[in-house]
Structure 1
Amino acid sequence: MPVGAIWEIDEKKQVVEGLDAEGRADPAYAAALGLLNAPFGRRALALVCDVAFWMLLQLPLWLGAVPLLLKLATGSISSYGFVNHPSFVLAIVMAGVTTLLSLVFCIVQLVMHGRKGMTIGKAITGLRSVNVRTLEKPGVGAVLLRFLIVYVSNIVPVLGPALFLASPTFDPDRRGRGLHDKAASVWLVDVRRGLQPYDEKRMRVARKMVKAEPTQERETLPSLATPLDPAAQPQYRPGNRGSAGVLGIARPYEAHERPVSGSPLATAPAAEAQPVAPQPVEPVAPQSVAPQPVAPQRAEPVARFGLRLDTGESIPVTEPVLLGRNPDAAVHPGARAVALTDDSKSLSKTHLLVRPVEGGLEILDCQSTNGSGLIRAGVEHEVAAGAPVATTDGDTIRIGDRTAAVVRL
């Protein structure tokens, strides 16, 4: 046995979706998920709200301590008179209250922004900050770096902060990211009109929808109709039809094959047509034939619609189907139970009932924990528990974190 051994440990690296070949964030991927840029107007309003809350916390200092400090600064009172002034203790208390409240405010803002992507102003205006690459929380360190960059820009008064605050309008990617945002890898998004990136369930569903392969379009078959131009010769024309389909195919006659009048079914030239001698026909005695009973044929059920799961598996729906982690068919007698794999534990034991109806499928949420949804034209609509909802070809059904497309079979 060797004295030393080398152990190789496979480290699982986090796979970041939505990056281009150079590892940069792809704006098209974020747009496909439903994330929208934060409007400049609401960004400015969020900043005003944050500054207004900070100024509100300065009121104890300004009302209780600043007047006494002004008297000392203007020489109205001496240092001895300042320390022994009746309002000196009140000024110290007010200054301490403002300092404590300001410190707590900054810490809360920093932690909320780093972990939840919002400050008080952003929460009011419906904005969130995310990491531009992972589309997740930016982190406390990134938010602190962003703040320090803006703070250091005050070295050049007015002009420095104005340059950083106006830089989002010159973003070449048109995502509204300023110089301080790019340095900290932060992106501000609109959660009022777009997707909420901190809703983990919605983000998982959106990522699965973007990763899902598009449904293959049906091939257009050639038309068998006769052309409108009477001079055009059809290349394919049914000669006769029956219950079994096309019985024969007619084609235009050539000049030497045209039938002669009086000679039925003649296809030879007119000069070679020979008269047909009549053949004697023997009489046939009539026979009575008993009618044979015809057994009624039962039409086999045809699956008109079905579900195509996000795993690629297809489920024809010719009867009520009960979906879930381990569905109990006794809840809905006559339904066929179909168990679905659920790695994220988002499915209930008996989650959704699917029934075939005219023109599509009808879904019924069975009081599931994480609920169901109907995605139509890229917009998700919540499905109320116990209320049947009609779906058709092209719709997508959300079942917990799983998705299934309604397809015509």
Structure 2
Amino acid sequence: MSTGESGQRSAQPTIWEVEDKQVTVEGLDAAGRPDPAYAEALGLLNAPLGRRALALVIDYCLWLLLQLPLWLGAMPLVFKLAAGEISQYGFMNHPSFVFSVVMASLTVALSLVLGVVQLVLHSVRGFTIGKAATGIRTVNARTLAKPGLGAILLRLLIVGAAGLVPLVGQAGFLASPLFDDRRRQGWHDKATGVWLVDVRLGLQPYDEKRMRVARKMVKAEPAPQRSALPSLATPLNPGTQPTYRPGSRISAGVLGVARPSREHTIVEPPELPPTQAGPSEPKPVVEGYVPPGPLATPAPGTAAQPPSTPEASAPPPAATQPATAATQHVVATGPVAAAQPQRIPPHPPLPPPTGCALRLDTGELISLATPVVLGRNPDPQGHPGARAVPVADDSRSLSKTHLLVRPVAGGLEITDCHSTNGSGLVRDGVEYGVTPGVPVRVVLGDTVRLGDRTAVVIPA
């Protein structure tokens, strides 16, 4: 193997390089402890003490129910042996001995299965059979996610160890939530870092979609104000202090504006006149344009002459193009009442675009020769002539059928299909809400928001 080949191979990254990703936990205070105010803002509520006690009773009664085969089928023979009615030889050769062993084994097996099921459900889904019946879930107090197997096992061991002190031990632990007014956490809950929440009246913490939306609403904060900077543009009035109007950027770096939070007022998009159907173009520079300003009033009977220039002193060429109204100077033939500055004539109306397309924030292009339905798994039924275009979305902010896009004269027409996270239109740095079921026209240069995704309207 040559030296050049070995150098190229060493420059290539190996498969053992793993990117170090740090998980950011939201809702912690400066000391890294869980902030109850953040959980309250999300909509999580403390589990009522009455329902917590009822859930414990249900789980305990279910365990007692599985002990019936042992007590009814095996314990009577054990009691006879303990009372001396039969000897050990008679106990082993008793006609009901096999039946007693089977019933005792059944109780042990069922109790073991129940314990494993309860432990797995509690650590992964946050509920036992009793908690599920009473609408209670257990979460990690710090991350508001599943508590984990280790925390649930430790919590069970702490309550079991408290039983070494008869009555007082377990009773004290079970009554300890009464001493916590903020989150109703018992001593065993605080020791293992878990929290019991109410899912009947509050938010379901194991509903990933609702938790994601709630976190976004709570996390949304106003954008920090930028410091005033001098403008490089020429002011209309040199005597006034110019103001700086910076452009906005979203987190992805695309020119536009950040998505507003739910607390902001959403206005309807303005209607575009027919002359604004296409993208704006720079105004042409007119030859002979005189900047705005006061003009000298000529004396009566004299004509107003244009400013003297070297080119003006030379005679004009014989063959020239005919002068237009925009390039001719106005010559006064009499007294002028008030001199008016000349202005650039407006540009002609822009022709409608021949076609539009959508460029997603990932760079993917979607042609729009025919109507399309966008979403994670869109269903074109109910939209005649439309084709389904699935859009990959790992954050699941898009609905299955999210947005209908139709090509129209001068741009596109978007209609929100009653999506969960809604749609929006960003135009000139302002985002407008799109009412579900109401079509809204968009033009070249506009940005369409679908959930957390964005798409820019570009020429086809």
- Displacement of 1:84: 1.2
Q: Distance in 2 between matches of 1:400 and 1:71?
A: 75
Q: Distance in 1 between matches of 2:113 and 2:393?
A: 43
SS of 1:155's equivalent in the other structure is coil
Residue 189 of structure 2: aligned partner: 181
Residue 316 of structure 1: aligned partner: none
- Displacement of 1:346: 4.2
Which residue among 104, 110, 115 is the counterpart of 2:124? 115
TM-score, normalised to structure 1, is 0.57
Which residue among 73, 85, 105 is the counterpart of 2:114? 105
Q: Distance in 2 between matches of 1:326 and 1:65?
A: 58
**Sequence identity percentage:** 64
Residue 197 of structure 1: aligned partner: 205
Residue 398 of structure 2: aligned partner: 347
Structure 1: which 5+ runs fail to align?
A: 2-6, 219-320, 355-361, 375-386, 391-398, 405-409
The question of whether the paired residues in 2 share the 8 Å contact of 1:129 and 1:187 is answered with yes
Q: Distance in 2 between matches of 1:100 and 1:326?
A: 45
- Displacement of 1:212: 1.6
Residue 157 of structure 1: aligned partner: 166
The question of whether the paired residues in 2 share the 8 Å contact of 1:150 and 1:180 is answered with yes
The question of whether the paired residues in 1 share the 8 Å contact of 2:399 and 2:420 is answered with no
The question of whether the paired residues in 2 share the 8 Å contact of 1:205 and 1:402 is answered with no
Residue 58 of structure 1: aligned partner: 67
Q: Distance in 2 between matches of 1:123 and 1:401?
A: 32
1:239-278 equivalence runs, <5 A: none
Residue 78 of structure 1: aligned partner: 87
- Displacement of 1:345: 4.3
Q: Distance in 2 between matches of 1:332 and 1:85?
A: 78
Which residue among 29, 34, 38 is the counterpart of 2:43? 34
- Displacement of 1:352: 3.4
Q: Answer yes or no: is 1:48 the counterpart of 2:57.
A: yes
The question of whether the paired residues in 2 share the 8 Å contact of 1:36 and 1:194 is answered with yes
Q: Distance in 1 between matches of 2:450 and 2:57?
A: 39
Q: 1:26 to 1:327 in 2, by over 3 A?
A: same
SS of 1:188's equivalent in the other structure is strand
Q: Distance in 2 between matches of 1:56 and 1:77?
A: 29
Q: Deviations over 1:291-324 (max 9, x none)?
A: xxxxxxxxxxxxxxxxxxxxxxxxxxxxxx9875
- Displacement of 1:332: 6.4
The question of whether the paired residues in 1 share the 8 Å contact of 2:398 and 2:421 is answered with no
Q: Distance in 1 between matches of 2:142 and 2:209?
A: 19
Q: Deviations over 1:135-173 (max 9, x none)?
A: 00000110000000000001100000011001111125x
Residue 138 of structure 2: aligned partner: 129
SS of 1:129's equivalent in the other structure is strand
Q: Distance in 1 between matches of 2:26 and 2:149?
A: 22
Cα RMSD after superposing both structures: 4.1
TM-score, normalised to structure 2, is 0.51
1:306-321 equivalence runs, <5 A: none
Moved runs in structure 1, 4+ residues, more than 3 A? 7-10, 214-218, 321-333, 339-343, 387-390, 399-404
Q: 1:402 to 1:216 in 2, by over 3 A?
A: closer
Q: Distance in 1 between matches of 2:376 and 2:70?
A: 60
Q: Answer yes or no: is 1:95 the counterpart of 2:104.
A: yes
The structure that is strand-richer by fraction is: 1
Q: Deviations over 1:165-192 (max 9, x none)?
A: 01111125x1111010011111000011
SS of 2:38's equivalent in the other structure is helix
Q: Deviations over 1:231-287 (max 9, x none)?
A: xxxxxxxxxxxxxxxxxxxxxxxxxxxxxxxxxxxxxxxxxxxxxxxxxxxxxxxxx
Q: Answer yes or no: is 1:13 the counterpart of 2:22.
A: yes
The question of whether the paired residues in 2 share the 8 Å contact of 1:372 and 1:400 is answered with no
Structure 2: which 5+ runs fail to align?
A: 4-15, 222-260, 267-371, 406-413, 423-435, 440-448, 455-460
- Displacement of 1:69: 0.7
Q: Distance in 1 between matches of 2:379 and 2:78?
A: 77
Q: Distance in 2 between matches of 1:130 and 1:94?
A: 37
